[in-house]
Structure 1
Amino acid sequence: MRVEELLAAARAGLERLGPAGAAAVHAEGGLLVDIRYAALRERDGTIPGALVVERNELEWRLDPLCEHRAPEATGHDLRVVVICNEGYASSLAAVSLRQLGLHRATDLAGGFQAWRAAGLPVAR
């Protein structure tokens, strides 16, 4: 399998959101999770209120049953929107969270760059 096929299979099971949809989930109490690495966050800024969890820690920090979970990881029903830089790695990450039982996890199509291009809030 090629990475493109892996990505297509991952996305087939997700209802991906655009920037406005992700903002609405956040406004309704859902969790935005920024998995970009530090250099990108420093360069471009962050989404106010988003939980920053680098990709290599994501499953441990979001699994509600893990002793290393973030306080925001309150249960398997939590609405989670994973955000990477351009919306590729976030699709794979969202599927991984679904495998942990976070059945409402999805990602932001176009990633942080789509959020910023939509004129939504960015903190420097």
Structure 2
Amino acid sequence: MTGRSIDAILAEARTRLRRLGPHESAAAHRSGALLVDIRPVAQRAEHGGIPGALVIERNVLEWRLDPRADSRLPEADFGLRVIVYCQEGYTSSLAAAALQDLGLTEATDLDGGYVAWRAAGLPTHDDVRPTVDQAATTPPPHPAR
């Protein structure tokens, strides 16, 4: 057999992260850290989201936060403190490690993901927020006539 198992890859990724619990993540977000929801729209629609989080789906995360990428967001900066979250905290660990590989050394993830945030009784919302890509390309609604 060649390669490594996903469990080994995940364990290695987590050795590089100082993962934050829900209350630590909330405090960091209040202090200016960027909280990023990488879940697909179906999960956000079913479970809700976190107020103030920026929605960047996983498949474009690196391109939107790499300060060298042509498709980067204005927030993209090597000194950016970013906390990534997914539903339960697995994919977000891999994503945070990938952001560190890009040079965002302050990237980490929410330990336990959205499930842990909600269980901690922290604020949530039920509306499906657009991704940064949808928000940039979706025209504003027509005014009422």
TM-score, normalisation: structure 2: 0.83
Number of the residue aligned with 1:118: 120
The Cα shift of 1:69 comes to 1.3
The Cα shift of 1:37 comes to 0.4
1:63 maps to a residue whose letter is: D
- SS of the residue corresponding to residue 35 of structure 2 reads strand
The Cα shift of 1:64 comes to 1.7
CA distance in 2, matches of 1:89, 1:51: 17
Matched, 1:46 2:37: no
Identity, % of aligned positions? 59
Unpaired runs of 5+ in structure 1? none
Number of the residue aligned with 1:82: 84
1:42-81 residue CA offsets vs partner (Å, 9 max, x unmatched) = 11111111110110000011112222112222x1111000
Unpaired runs of 5+ in structure 2? 127-145
Q: Highest CA radius of gyration, 1 or 2?
A: 2
The alignment covers a number of residue pairs equal to 123
- SS of the residue corresponding to residue 88 of structure 2 reads coil
TM-score, normalisation: structure 1: 0.96
CA distance in 2, matches of 1:40, 1:4: 23
Let me know the Cα RMSD of the aligned residues.
0.8
